[in-house]
């Protein structure tokens, strides 16, 4: 969205093709964002406004084929229309790792095991069913690195933003359910961004969130419908177990399904993490080996919203200079 808005500003005609029936992707499912607890809408709405009536938006349209005819890309959509463009910007983003694949955590089997996305939906009031009694007492567990840094899940890379998301949600949970203690089970806490460490410290000091270094090995249901998780407190060097009233899985990034299709259609390269591979990680982060095909956002690996927006602006310039040189 941001890129298309910028490109329009620069005086190009942009067509935005969106698989879903609405704009905004994952951010639209988010309630509020790290590090400043800003409502997701506050980010999304300006982005939407920026393209309103300026950019031609094609919703719920899959790409069925892309051909190159005399220097132009002809993209045919599932809706039947064709688009002729001089350049293509791939911004397919990411899908969330399917937590069901981590069978040992029992997602989809135990009601009290949910993902961070489910929790955001709950916070934003999108799904009605109540998680816990507001006045109840008990324990909540947040499992980091679900489907990330895990060869067994086929993803060796770090999804980068889950750590801080976990910390953010831990605090929110303490706020929502004061009677519940929150435990974060992590391997490493990667507070890479500005103010992230402050959030981490606030979670500890102000909200009393307990951080346990150790990956949960398995979850199972107890006779009183709690979730018992097993782990090693690697800092105490002891195997431990604890029963929780709610378990949140911080599922990581995986390349979007749509990206795979585009990879075929445009014969693009991907890295061993299956995300798109730019020509150069430093200087040409948005360039592909294909003339006029550009990359932006999480389709080249896990990114925060801020990073994606910055990239969108960067790629807008790249594309415009490319188009200018073409004339």
Partner 1 sequence: MNIEGKRRIWKAYQKEIADDRYYYARSCIRQNFFPGSETAFLRILKEELGKDIHDDPRHTTCTGIAYHCDVIPFETTMTVVARQFSLMSEAGYTNYVPSCITSFGIYTEILETWHHFPEIEAKVREMLWKSTKREFSKPANLAHASDIIYKFRNEIAAKGKYRLINQHTGNPLRVVEHIGCHYSRMFPHKGVGGAEYPYVLAGMIESWGGEVVDYPERRHCCGFGFRQYLVKANRGYSAACSKKKFESMAPFTPDMIITNCPGCPYFLDRWQFVIAEMQGITYGTAGQGIPVFTYEEVAGLVLGYDPWDLGLQTHQVAVEPLLDKLGIPYDPEMKYKAEGGRFIGTPEYPEVLKVC
Partner 2 sequence: MMVKDKFGFSIHADNQVNLDKGDYSLLQKIMAAEPGFLNCISCGSCTASCTAASFTDFNFRVLCQNVRRGQNTNLMNELSKCMFCGKCRLICPRGINTRKIISLLHKELSNTMQYA
The residue range among 80-88, 109-117, 155-163, 297-305 that interacts with partner 1, by the rule CB under 8 A, is 109-117
At residue 141, the 3 state secondary structure works out as: strand
In whole angstroms, how close is the CB of 172 to partner 2 at the nearest point?
18
Which residues does residue 68 pair with via DSSP β-bridges, in sequence order?
73
Give me the DSSP letters along 256-277: -HHHHHHHHHHT--B-TTSSB-
Q: Return the number of other C-beta atoms located less than 10 Å from residue 167's C-beta.
A: 30
In whole angstroms, how close is the CB of 218 to partner 2 at the nearest point?
13
What is the C-alpha separation between 271 and 253, in angstroms, rounded? 14
Query: Residue 154, interface with partner 1 (CB under 8 A)?
Result: no
Element (DSSP H or E) covering residue 115:
strand 113-115
Query: Residue 235, interface with partner 2 (CB under 8 A)?
Result: yes
Which of 110, 123, 176, 322 is in the footprint of partner 1 by CB under 8 A? 110
Which x/- pattern over 58-97 shows residues binding partner 1 (rule: CB under 8 A)? ----------------------------------------
In whole angstroms, how close is the CB of 218 to partner 1 at the nearest point?
6
Residue 210 near which of partner 2, partner 1, none (CB within 5-8 Å, type-dependent): partner 2
Residues with Cβ within 8 Å of 49's Cβ and at least 6 positions away in sequence, in order, are none
In whole angstroms, how close is the CB of 245 to partner 1 at the nearest point?
15
Query: Residue 239, interface with partner 1 (CB under 8 A)?
Result: no
Query: Residue 179, interface with partner 2 (CB under 8 A)?
Result: no
Give me the DSSP letters along 69-110: ETTEEEEEETTS-EEEES-EEE---EEE--GGGSGGG-TTTS
Please state the φ and ψ torsions of residue 151, each to the nearest 5 degrees.
Answer: -60, -35
> With contacts defined by CB under 8 A, how many residues of the chain interact with partner 2?
19
Residues with Cβ within 8 Å of 312's Cβ and at least 6 positions away in sequence, in order, are 1, 2, 3, 6, 91, 296, 297
Residue 156 near which of partner 2, partner 1, none (CB within 5-8 Å, type-dependent): none
Which of 39, 46, 108, 239 is in the footprint of partner 1 by CB under 8 A? 108
- How buried is residue 53: exposed, middle or buried, by Cβ count under 10 Å (0-12/13-18/19+)? exposed
At residue 19, the 3 state secondary structure works out as: coil
The residue range among 50-58, 106-114, 258-266, 285-293 that interacts with partner 1, by the rule CB under 8 A, is 106-114
The residue range among 31-39, 65-73, 198-206, 261-269 that interacts with partner 2, by the rule CB under 8 A, is 198-206
Note the residues at the interface with partner 1 (CB under 8 A). Answer: 100, 103-104, 106-111, 218, 220-224, 228, 241
Note the residues at the interface with partner 2 (CB under 8 A). Answer: 201, 204-206, 208-211, 213, 230, 233, 235-236, 238-243
């Amino acid at each position: 969205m941001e890129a298309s808005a910028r490109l329009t500003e620069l005086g190009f005609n942009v067509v935005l093709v969106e698989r879903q029936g609405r704009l905004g992707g994952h951010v639209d499912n988010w309630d509020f964002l790290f590090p400043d607890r800003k409502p997701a809408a506050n980010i999304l709405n300006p982005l939407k406004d920026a393209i309103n009536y300026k950019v031609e938006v094609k919703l719920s349209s899959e790409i069925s084929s892309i051909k190159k005819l005399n220097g132009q890309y002809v993209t045919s959509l599932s809706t039947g229309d064709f688009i002729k463009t001089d350049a293509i910007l791939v911004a397919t983003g990411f899908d969330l790792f399917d937590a069901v694949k981590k069978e040992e955590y029992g997602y989809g089997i135990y009601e009290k095991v949910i993902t961070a996305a489910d929790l955001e939906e709950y916070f934003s009031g999108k799904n009605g069913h109540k998680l816990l009694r507001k006045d109840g007492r008990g324990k909540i567990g947040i499992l980091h690195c679900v489907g990330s840094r895990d060869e067994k899940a086929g993803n060796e890379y770090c999804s980068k933003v889950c750590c801080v998301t976990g910390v953010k949600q831990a605090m929110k949970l303490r706020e929502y359910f004061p009677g519940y203690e929150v435990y974060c089970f992590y391997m490493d806490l990667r507070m890479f961004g500005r103010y992230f460490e402050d959030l981490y410290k606030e979670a500890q000091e102000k909200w009393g969130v307990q951080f346990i270094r150790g990956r949960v090995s398995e979850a199972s249901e107890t006779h009183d419908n709690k979730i018992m998780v097993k782990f090693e407190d690697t800092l105490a060097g002891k195997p431990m177990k604890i029963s929780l009233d709610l378990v949140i899985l911080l599922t990581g990034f995986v390349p979007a399904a749509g990206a795979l299709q585009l990879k075929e259609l445009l014969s693009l390269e991907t890295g061993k993490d299956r995300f798109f591979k730019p020509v150069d990680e430093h200087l040409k982060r948005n360039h592909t080996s294909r003339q006029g095909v550009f990359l932006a956002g999480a389709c080249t690996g896990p990114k925060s919203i801020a990073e994606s927006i910055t990239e969108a602006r960067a790629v807008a310039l790249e594309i415009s200079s490319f188009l200018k040189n073409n004339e």
